[in-house]
């Protein structure tokens, strides 16, 4: 099992890229500061969600894993574009997980 800190590390990189000087080129900055605004990162979430669905539906395990990673990454970038800190999502998941124990 992989350390769940990978999400925290990825979030940190996304934030660093978002806050870096405007002259630095990166894919994250391309998505966050695109002329379409937030629409660009949201379009990527939709695109990656569709690709994930198709890979899972077709039972292609390796492609499903790759598309899931793409979807999670682009979702995190879209959260940054929405000015929503990833820690809030983690907290919400923790609350929901804790609530599951009440019904077990």
pLDDT in tens, 12-64: 999 999 998 666 789 999 999 999 999 999 999 999 999 999 999 999 999 99
- Please state whether the predicted TM-score (pTM) of the whole model is above 0.85: yes
> 21: domain range?
5-103
Mean pLDDT of 62-72: 98
Helix H or strand E segment including 102 = helix 86-103
pLDDT higher for 31 or 2? 31
Average per-residue pLDDT for the chain = 92
Task: Report the number of distinct structural domains present in the chain.
Answer: 1
Query: Which CATH number does the domain housing residue 63 bear?
Result: 1.10.287.1080
Q: In the structure, what pLDDT confidence band is assigned to residue 101 with cuts at 50, 70 and 90? A: low
């Amino acid at each position: 099992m992989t350390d769940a800190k990978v999400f925290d590390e990825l979030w940190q990189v996304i934030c660093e890229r978002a806050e870096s000087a405007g002259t630095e080129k990166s894919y994250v900055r391309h998505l966050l500061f695109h002329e379409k605004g937030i629409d660009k990162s949201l379009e990527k979430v939709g695109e990656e969600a569709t690709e994930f669905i198709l890979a899972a539906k077709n039972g292609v395990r390796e492609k499903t894993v790759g598309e899931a990673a793409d979807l999670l990454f682009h979702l995190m970038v879209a959260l940054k574009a929405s000015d929503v800190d990833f820690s809030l999502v983690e907290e919400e998941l923790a609350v929901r997980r804790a609530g599951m124990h009440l019904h077990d």
